[in-house]
Amino acid sequence: MLLKNVQEWTLLLLIFGLIAAIGNWIGYSVFPVAALPGMAVLIVICLAGLILQHVLPVNIPSVAYIGIIGILVSMPVMPGSEYIVKWTENINILALATPILAYAGIAIGRSWTDFVKLGWRSVVVAMFVMVGTFLGSALIAEVVLRMQKII
Amino acid sequence: MTELKGIWKDWRLHLLVFGIVALTEWIGVFQFTVGPGVILLLPMLYAMLIGLGLFFTPVIKKAQALNAEPLIVLGVTLLIAKIGVIIGPSLPKLIEAGPALLLQEFGNLGTIFIALPIAVLLGLKRESIGMTHSVAREPNVGLIVDKYGFNSPEGRGVMAIYIFGTVFGAVFMGVISGFLATITPLHPLSFAMASGIGSGSMMAAASGSLVAAFPAFSDDIIAFAGASNLLSLSTGLYMSIFIGLPLTEKMYQLMTREKPSQSRVRKGA
């Protein structure tokens, strides 16, 4: 069961990685061969996190493992971290985000019927909800960062 | 994420996404000024809108829309891995900024002070509690449905914001983050922390616009946004349970002068 999942995850991550690498080439001028080691590192980190989530009995989302593994392997104290950092620098984060949102656009078409049923008042409130949380957090961050003289 | 069968074989889906990505990255970032601010349109925003548009053409069948979902999840894992390897080297900087990172989580309550009055002014009743107690991602929907029921006004409210966020959250955040960061005197790093609101795609869009507007800070922006998003994911629910929701209820009662006992009587009647 796990083996089958790992196989499927690997194939899908490779497809996604290939699409992102081409986007990375067209949009950010990184030749795919130069992006290869970085993409491979990221895929291995993802697989490690997905497998850990599957194997360990605790119920923690796989992205938490993946984030922590990514941080651990790139910390300066970790031997070889300079290669991880150097290779992954070639993968522009925006090049990863574009295919995510392309897939998301196709998937959320299914929510469209629900969306058009929302009244205009809901849409107005929703925009203020997002602006509210964004500005609220930014204001607090600004005050604390200035008090600490970081910015 | 446990039952994935043969989605890699859906070549129609992957080729379409490949085409969308190639096209949108080729178009590149488009920006224009509105007064003193800058609005940035990133390739990811066109990509989402093109994907959504294709859903209504015969090119996309229901199978593709369903198969796309696990790829969003896997794509987000790659994004998180990338954020991880950016955070690693800047960990000392993040620890130094720890107090700001932790405290800005309380800024998520900004929805209550800004959006709740608007909702009440627009004449919304108890829907406004579900709508404005948080930014309405999955854990918050769960909380409201658990507490008030799916078919309650509060439940309908939280679902409305959830649906808007799902469909247009990333596009909206991408547009306003660059605009607000260029129009206000606040520092891009403050907005970077604010970008982590607990949704991977919204965080990517908001911090992406910041990176495009302030390329000099690019790694710090991603590290701060990513760390803040992880914090929001892990604290968001508790923030709503212990502070957000009770505060929204109180503010709502103050604004509508509705006594808590009255509402209970009405519900019983």
Clarify whether residues A12 and A85 are in a common domain.
yes
- Confidence band, pLDDT 50/70/90 cuts, at residue B3: low
- The answer for A 16-75 residues in CB contact with B (under 8 A) is 16-17, 19-20, 22-23, 26-28, 41-43, 45-46, 49-50, 61-64, 66-75
Clarify whether residues A125 and A101 are in a common domain.
no
Round to whole Å and give the CA distance between A11 and B146.
38
Round to whole Å and give the CA distance between A28 and A94.
9
Q: Within an 8 Å CB–CB cutoff, is residue A76 touching chain B?
A: yes
A21-32 pLDDT, tens digit each: 999 999 999 999
* Number of domains forming the structure of chain A: 2
* CA–centroid distance for A29 within its chain: 21
C-alpha distance from A108 to closest chain B C-alpha (Å) = 6
- Average pLDDT rounded to a whole number, residues B212-218: 95
A9 Cβ contact list (under 8 Å, min separation 6): A46, A47, A50, B4, B74
Clarify whether residues A86 and A20 are in a common domain.
yes
Clarify whether residues A125 and A73 are in a common domain.
no
Q: Which residue do the tokens 């600490």 mark?
A: A148
Residue B173 or residue B258, greater confidence? B173
Indicate which of B74, B120, B202 best probes the interface with A, i.e. most A CBs within 10 Å of its own CB: B74
Of B84, B97, B100, the CB nearest to A67: B84
CA distances from B118 to A124, B63, B113 (A): 8, 40, 9
- Confidence band, pLDDT 50/70/90 cuts, at residue B267: very low
C-alpha distance from A45 to closest chain B C-alpha (Å) = 6
Return the pLDDT at B268. Answer: 42
B230-264 pLDDT, tens digit each: 899 888 899 999 999 999 999 999 999 865 554 44
Strand, helix or coil at B32?
strand
Contact check, Cβ <8 Å, A106/B17: yes
Amino acid at A138: A
Amino acid at B223: A
Return the pLDDT at A37. Answer: 98
Indicate which of B21, B27, B96, B150 best probes the interface with A, i.e. most A CBs within 10 Å of its own CB: B21
Clarify whether residues A40 and A88 are in a common domain.
yes
Write the burial class of residue A56 (CB in 10 Å: 0-12 exposed, 13-18 middle, 19+ buried): exposed
Indicate which of A93, A112, A121, A131 best probes the interface with B, i.e. most B CBs within 10 Å of its own CB: A93
Contact check, Cβ <8 Å, A133/B64: no
Return the pLDDT at A60. Answer: 84
Domain ranges of chain B: 7-264
A30-71 pLDDT, tens digit each: 999 999 999 999 999 999 999 999 999 988 889 889 999 999
Contact check, Cβ <8 Å, A114/B163: yes
Contact check, Cβ <8 Å, A133/B111: yes
Contact check, Cβ <8 Å, A132/B111: yes
Clarify whether residues A99 and A130 are in a common domain.
no
Residue B142 scores a pLDDT above 60? yes
Q: What domain range is A144 assigned to?
A: 118-151
Of the candidates B97, B115, B70, B107, which has an alpha carbon nearest to the alpha carbon of residue B196? B107
Q: What is the mean pLDDT of chain B?
A: 92
Hey, how many other C-beta atoms are within 10 angstroms of the C-beta on A2? Answer: 11
B82-108 pLDDT, tens digit each: 999 999 999 999 999 999 999 999 999
Clarify whether residues A69 and A141 are in a common domain.
no
Q: Within an 8 Å CB–CB cutoff, is residue A149 touching chain B?
A: no
B120-136 pLDDT, tens digit each: 999 999 999 999 999 99
C-alpha distance from B89 to closest chain A C-alpha (Å) = 5
